[in-house]
Amino acid sequence: SNLSLQFPIVIKTPQGFSTTDVYICGDENDAMSKVGIIVNGRAAPDCRIPMFALAEEYIGGKEFAVNMMSTADGIECTDAWLYRKEVGEGVARYISADMMDPGEKKLEKVVTYAKQVAAAVGILYGAAHLELKASYCEEKKQYINPCMIEIGARLSGGRKTTLTQAVIEGWQPFQALIDAHCGNKVKFPLSFSPGEQHARHLFLPHRLSGRITEIRGADRFESLSTYHSHFLLAKVGDVVERTTDITSFGGFVWLAGPRQAVEDDARAVWETFSFQTEPIEKESNVGEISGVPNM
């Protein structure tokens, strides 16, 4: 109450990254138990031992990533992404990230806000990557009340830069980054609208803790009509924990192409791919993650 916070709140390590050791807590007992996990003497993701935990407001709404290029002529929004997540057991697991049209009216307030934040923190040259949340207003048919999560003077991770390059004709993001920092004229395409093209980043979870005995469906990735790339972080024989954050995913698939084809290929991945595991001693399963997420 002294912090003017209302549940749910976020308890997280001050020394983490990529959603590691970040918990959504519904009451005080839950919050204190997560503080205990963080300050129990084990090393944080950055290999230091935390002495305290952070309590923060939980920001509601949908999560976006907005990417921009800042030049002497101003700030241009190059691409925007909507994350889909499952929230449960105190954590948020990513399902996918979908390319949006940054020029679409429903993103007008989101993009305007992103540019204002980039300008406010002094990103004058080069790339800017903003993560934020916003709520959709049915009456206005727009996302409203954007609120920053974090911003960095960098290109986006998760291969979103190369996916945008694959979808937007004439866009050369890496050349643009160099030109922006050198003070040269940046060559932007006529539009950053993907039109009928689409891109999606799929997150592949470990549904259960244990030892991997088989990886099913990965051999079919490259035959998908919209296949762009993929990366598997685990192999047969690895001992893995059930996915709770970005760093504990088993892999990723990136798709780019006609919208409906991307939708079809994404569903094919969910229906055919899985990590098969066998239980091991000290198993920490708390139930199984659903194989086919509600898209």
Between residues 92 and 35, the one the model is more confident about: 35
* In the predicted structure, residue 291 carries a pLDDT above the cut 60: no
pLDDT reported for residue 97: 98
pLDDT reported for residue 21: 82
Q: How much is the average pLDDT of 94-115?
A: 97
* Window from 14-18, 22-26, 72-76, 257-261 with minimum mean pLDDT: 14-18
What b/e string do you get for 162-200 counting C-beta neighbours within 10 Å, with b at 16 or more?
bbbbbbbeebebeebbebbeeeeebebeeebebeebbbb
Angle, vertex CA 109, rays to CA 140 and CA 154, nearest 5:
150
Between residues 109 and 288, the one the model is more confident about: 109
* Window from 90-104, 191-205, 216-230 with minimum mean pLDDT: 90-104
pTM equals: 0.88
Q: How much is the average pLDDT of 207-230?
A: 97
Secondary structure, 3-state, 256-285 = EEEHHHHHHHHHHHHHHCEEEEECCCCCCC
Q: How much is the average pLDDT of 216-225?
A: 97
- Intra-chain end-to-end CA distance of the chain, in Å: 37
CA 110 from centre of chain: 17
Contact by Cβ (8 Å): 143, 110? yes
* In the predicted structure, residue 292 carries a pLDDT above the cut 60: no
Q: Mean pLDDT across the chain, nearest whole number? A: 91
pLDDT tens digit string along 243-277? 988 889 999 999 999 999 999 999 999 999 999 99
Contact by Cβ (8 Å): 11, 23? yes
Neighbouring C-beta atoms of residue 271, cutoff 10 Å: 11
Q: Is residue 2 very low, low, confident or very high in pLDDT (cuts 50, 70, 90)?
A: low
Q: Is residue 283 very low, low, confident or very high in pLDDT (cuts 50, 70, 90)?
A: very low
pLDDT tens digit string along 153-170? 999 999 999 999 999 999
pLDDT tens digit string along 38-97? 888 777 777 888 899 999 888 889 999 999 999 999 999 999 999 999 877 767 789 999
